[in-house]
Chains A and B, each alone.
Chain A
Amino acid sequence: MTVSSAPPTARNAAYQQLVAQRNAFTLTMTVTFLVLYFLLPVLAGYNKPLMAQKVLGNVTFGYLLAFAEFIMGWVMAYLYVVKARTFDRLAQEARA
């Protein structure tokens, strides 16, 4: 089995840019969402009074934080989709 070496243009500027941008973006996003997500179990484990604190009527801080996690998930997915358009464009240039 031989591996076809990539064409010379494969390592062009667009590709370098794609790798750098993509890595930086996904790493930042991943670290951010993991930190924000783990607020939930850490607070639920170590700060029960805060989680049980009523904020809006009977809705507790814990429920608000949990719902905020869902919104965070959707927002981060949206940001990624927007950013991915740049990646797609760079990938196309890199392949050309």
Chain B
Amino acid sequence: MTFLLAAIIVAVTLAVTFWASRRNTSAGDFYVAGGRISASQNGIAIAGDYMSAASFLGITGLIALNGYDGFMYSVGWFIAYLTVLFIVAEPLRNLGKYTLADMLVYRLKDPRVRTYAAVSTIVISTFYMIAQVVGAGSLISLLSRGAISADLAIPLVGVLMIIYVVVGGMLATTWVQIIKAMLLMFATIVMTVLILNRFGWSFSNLLGQVEAKNGAEFLGAGVKYKNPIDLISLCLALVLGTAGLPHILVRFFTVPTAQDARKSVVWAMALIGAFYVMTAFMGNAANALLGKDAIEAANKAGNMAAPLLAENLFGGAGTLGGEFGLAFVTAVAFATILAVVAGLTISASTSFTHDIYNGVLKGGQASEKDQFRVARLATVAVGVAAILLGLAAKTQNVAFLVALAFALAASANLPVILFTLFWRKFNATGAMWGIVGGILFTLLLIAISPNIMKIDPDTLTTGRHLIQANAIFPLENPGLISIPAGFLFAYLGTLIGARRHTPEDDRVFEDMQFRAYTGAGVDGTVAAHD
């Protein structure tokens, strides 16, 4: 039944993709659906981009196995949207056309900045994508009870996502996100209602059962995170990282105006918030109804908690209802993975085609037709690279790749975005230092952290750490150090490049600010500035 439901979802999304392909006639359509997506559609699509398998399967599992600590991811990932709403969304829409690099070049007038920003986008998207693809492989093999191995599942997901993006562009990708977000919300709401029904419509009753099973410490903090600094560093990366994630930023270029960008964030916050609140119910109910041992027996990381919970809620193992519940949630998880990977692919291939191919190699002179062709080729290349990297990394621990992407986004992109918008003296040297310094320093900290460096017991055969030695840098997530460092690099670079600051630069800054605050010159003529 799982296969049937998954096949239906794939068939519907492919149909949407071919419908969208007939409406894609220009590069702008491919990159950002011609900027014609409505605010509510875009908001739902942002939610779809954001609620990855890591959120749905991962957090439910984390809460089921670690209690309260798992719920902290939910809070951080939700609150991050306030940063996006207050600071990033509207100015970005007012200044950008297709990519983050557009905004930086609009202000800094230096084509080299375009290259650096594009490389940063591609690096961050790739880390995020490898995590999703590897996760997809192990999840699909797990959910199909071994019928589809990871070696088959990774290419399968990769090929489907290439089809969505190559054929349908941003319009199809957006609709795939919308379908997936609705399915995910529906599944989550149904499960939460069944949970509440089971526990006398009381969260307190639910927690009481969790306590009876695991002891009181499970309701409090500290089961997973023993070191407070580690937790604070993670939370900092979560709350600031979202505002620099390329596949979230690209979504603000798909709507016509800054007001629509704002409305779409609000839509996304309503959906994402409701979803993450429900993870507290799902995680705790999985713990109370299934027990830690059964969840860990199915998958050590807890990734099977949500599907098994659905099986239990719909009637239990062996019943028709139970089988349907399991199949439905599995199919939704599959759709989730496809949609998120498609969203990442389009942000990476847009950056490559628009910024590197057209912006740098062709000096902005490439024809629409050429860009369209290169964008499709780039998508295939990105997709194939993701499949190969995914296969190569399939035995590695993937959770750190996602946290790494957040830390990279917060350390390399966010300082440069903020300085571009608000600091008069900021210059191109500062932007390059900020991006390159932020990326390299974050990668260095990760390389010497317990994510990569750790002494594993000899008995461990898979998922061994790359460097078998004690970690030099103690934190799992480098955010606490790497984010301030990113700001520092951008600041120092600005001082070094400062001699070239002229009255003309002041005028450019004021011009940019006027446009960022008022949206002057944006409506209808987004192409005017380059």
Contact = CB atoms under 8 A, between A and B. Distances in A.
B72 A5 contact: no
Nearest to A4: B511
A24 interface: no
A70 B78 contact: yes
Interface in A14-43: 15, 18-19, 22, 26, 29-30, 33-34, 37-38, 40-43
Contacts of B204: 56-59
A62 B85 contact: no
Given A15-B518, A42-B232, A44-B222, A59 B79 contact: no
Contact of B79 (A1, A22, A37, A84): A37
Interface stretch (B169-177, B262-270, B291-299, B332-340): B262-270
Interface stretch (B211-219, B395-403, B439-447, B493-501): B211-219
B270 A52 contact: no
Interface in A77-96: 77, 80-81, 84, 88, 91-92, 94-95
Contacts of A77: 81-82, 85, 265-266, 269
Contact of A51 (B68, B208, B239, B530): B68
Interface string A47-64: 011011010111110110
A53 B86 CA distance: 34
B219 A63 contact: yes
Interface in B419-476: none
Nearest to A76: B82
B365 interface: no
Given A6-B510, A66-B75, A26 B221 contact: no
Contact of B72 (A41, A74, A91): A41
Contacts of B71: 63, 66
Contacts of A70: 75, 78, 273, 276-277
B144 interface: no
A84 B228 CA distance: 37
B179 to A, nearest CB: 25
Given A3-B507, A18-B518, A58 B219 contact: yes
Q: How large is the interface on A (under 10, 10 to 19, 20 to 34, 35 or more residues)?
A: 35 or more
A42 B273 contact: no
Among B229, B262, B517, which residue has the most Cβ atoms of chain A within 10 A? B517
Contacts of B219: 52, 54, 58, 60, 62-63
B514 A63 contact: no
A13 interface: no
A63 B79 contact: no
A67 B281 CA distance: 12
Interface of A: 1, 3-6, 10-11, 15, 18-19, 22, 26, 29-30, 33-34, 37-38, 40-46, 48-49, 51-52, 54, 56-60, 62-63, 66-67, 69-70, 73-74, 76-77, 80-81, 84, 88, 91-92, 94-95
20 contacts: A1-B109, A6-B510, A6-B511, A6-B520, A38-B235, A44-B68, A44-B228, A45-B229, A51-B220, A51-B221, A52-B216, A58-B205, A59-B204, A60-B68, A60-B207, A63-B207, A70-B75, A70-B78, A81-B266, A95-B518
Considering the complex of A and B, which 6 residue pairs feature the smallest CB-CB distances, nearest first?
A45-B228, A52-B220, A57-B204, A44-B221, A58-B207, A91-B518
